[in-house]
Amino acid sequence: MKRKYVGLVLILALLSVSFTGCIGVNGNFKKIRNTLKNNLDLEYNKTVEFSVGRTGLMLAGMVIRFADTEEPIEDVLSEVSRVQVGIYERDYGDLNAKVKNLNALTTQMENQGWKYIVRTVQHDEMVCVFVREDDPGFNQLYVVNVGDHEMVLVEIHGDLSKIIEIVLREKAFNVDFAHN
């Protein structure tokens, strides 16, 4: 029984890599990464860069189902359709982030239909959170965190309004939301 389960998980993992884009990030993600690298004039080395589609997230949900947790992780994952993550490290030099770097990134993102909801820059750190809304609603989130020795980029696609509702219901106020 255990062998069949392990075999099934391996087959599903191979299928998810083959059919859901679970290998590399898309061109838009790379474009934003390269713009950041060029504007900051620093050399970052890729540590991790991957994309996970709906099937990969479904597999993650199956694994989490067996975990002993009271967190609503499975519910949240069911609302996510794709995640792209990039982590890049620098071995030398200090970040000297400037408002012009933040403005350049904001302009590029706004030209692609993103709106910032949070952005801040200090000498040794720059953080931005962007969202994109389409007809059905709030469905894309892009987080940029650039620090002294690391740059982290995360893009999430899915029903983010529903994710916020789940988190607030489970962890905050126990409020019911109107579905207009």
**Domain layout of the chain by residue ranges:** 22-53+79-171
Record the tokens describing residue 22, joined without a space.
């679970």
- What secondary structure, in 3-state letters, does 102-133 show? HHHHHHHHHHCCCEEEEEEEECCEEEEEEEEE
Rounded to two decimals, the pTM is: 0.75
Residue type (1 letter), 80:
V
For 59-73, what is each residue's pLDDT tens digit? 777 777 777 777 777
For 93-112, what is each residue's pLDDT tens digit? 667 777 888 888 899 899 98
User: How does the average pLDDT of the chain come out, rounded?
Assistant: 79
